[in-house]
Amino acid sequence: MHVFVTGATGWVGSAIVEDLIGAGHQVTGLARSDDKAALLTATGAQVVRGTLDDETLLQQTASNADAVIHTAFNHDFSKFLENVAQDQRVIETLGGALAGSDRPLIVTSGLSGLPAGAVETDEPNPASPRKSENAAKALRARGVRAATVRLAPSVHGVGDHGFIPILVRLARQTGVSAYIGDGRNEWSGVHRLDAAKVYRLVLEQGVTEPVYHAVADDAAPFKGIAETIGRQLALPVVSREREHFGWFANMAGGNMAASSERTRALLGWNPVGPSLLTDIDQPDYYT
């Protein structure tokens, strides 16, 4: 299968590219710079140079692929709503290129705004500012074979530059590793290599569902995350008000536990990576 991957040099996308190629698939990845293109070429992938704003390039490349995986998203939170709008345009462009065919599109979303203990059949929160899943849903209504992979809030592994490093930086800046209230709100997690396998298995098994959960750890208490960070940094672990976390307060106080029971049963997916709390309890995570 020839798969076009956006975000192909990103934290999750790069793992997807390597997993697909390792399973014998052909990959074309989007790269916005020479150094990113070189990284992709080294994996054995083909490269198209461009950005998420190059709609004609995206449409042409998707049209020439057997399937598309969209993982790219600009995480500059200072212009989050602009990035959400860009993401929606990209999904619509990719879906338009696949319309009228049986070729699948997999988009990426998260668990924020879903009920605690969410399952794959739970609908996304209509008030959520990110519209990736709703865009995929609109494409399905038009007959496009689109699906969403919901990633756990922590896609972890050494080299992580997601939400756990945000908490690590905040702890170093403030001198405490903090949680909100009693810290009993829960996050789910997944190792990046296990997450990558979900995308491949979805493609190989025919994209039969609208939503899949890349969730290996159903629930890790946020206080446990704070305690692990505090232990590794030799800092006190304390409860703080939401203001301590600034713009990250909704995430720090969020209940983002979820089940992947249906995804595991459908795909035969058996994550083998370390749990979230085990993975972040190693010195290499803090270098």
Determine how β-strand 237-240 pairs with β-strand 177-180. Answer: parallel
Instruction: Examine the domain organization and report whether 108 and 239 are in the same domain.
Output: no
How far is C-alpha 6 from the geometric centre of its chain's CA atoms?
Answer: 12
pLDDT at 259: 96
pLDDT at 176: 98
Q: What percent of the chain has pLDDT over 90?
A: 89
Across 141-165, b (16+ Cβ under 10 Å) vs e yields eeebbbbbbbbbbbbbbeebebbbe
How far is C-alpha 157 from the geometric centre of its chain's CA atoms?
Answer: 13
pLDDT at 286: 94
Instruction: Examine the domain organization and report whether 58 and 195 are in the same domain.
Output: yes
Q: Could you tell me the CATH number of the domain that includes residue 38?
A: 3.40.50.720
Instruction: List strand residue ranges (DSSP E) for 138-269, in order.
Output: 145-151, 154-156, 177-180, 186-191, 211-214, 217-221, 237-240
In the predicted model, what is the mean pLDDT of the chain? 95
Instruction: Examine the domain organization and report whether 172 and 267 are in the same domain.
Output: yes
Per-residue pLDDT of the chain in tens (287 residues, 90 and over written 9): 999 999 999 999 999 999 999 999 999 999 999 999 999 999 999 999 999 999 999 999 999 999 999 999 887 767 778 888 999 999 999 999 999 999 999 999 999 889 889 999 999 887 777 889 999 999 999 999 999 999 999 999 999 989 999 999 999 999 999 999 999 999 999 999 999 999 999 999 999 999 999 999 889 999 999 999 999 999 999 999 999 999 999 999 999 999 999 999 999 999 999 999 999 999 999 98
Instruction: Examine the domain organization and report whether 16 and 119 are in the same domain.
Output: yes
pLDDT at 126: 78
pLDDT at 287: 87
Domains held by the chain: number = 2
Question: Can you give the residue range of the structural domain that contains 227?
Answer: 155-189+218-286
CA dist 50 and 57 (Å) reads 7
Instruction: Examine the domain organization and report whether 260 and 245 are in the same domain.
Output: yes
Instruction: Examine the domain organization and report whether 159 and 199 are in the same domain.
Output: no
Instruction: Examine the domain organization and report whether 18 and 146 are in the same domain.
Output: yes
Q: Could you tell me the CATH number of the domain that includes residue 277?
A: 3.90.25.10
Q: Are 199 and 69 in contact (CB under 8 A)?
A: yes
pLDDT at 164: 96
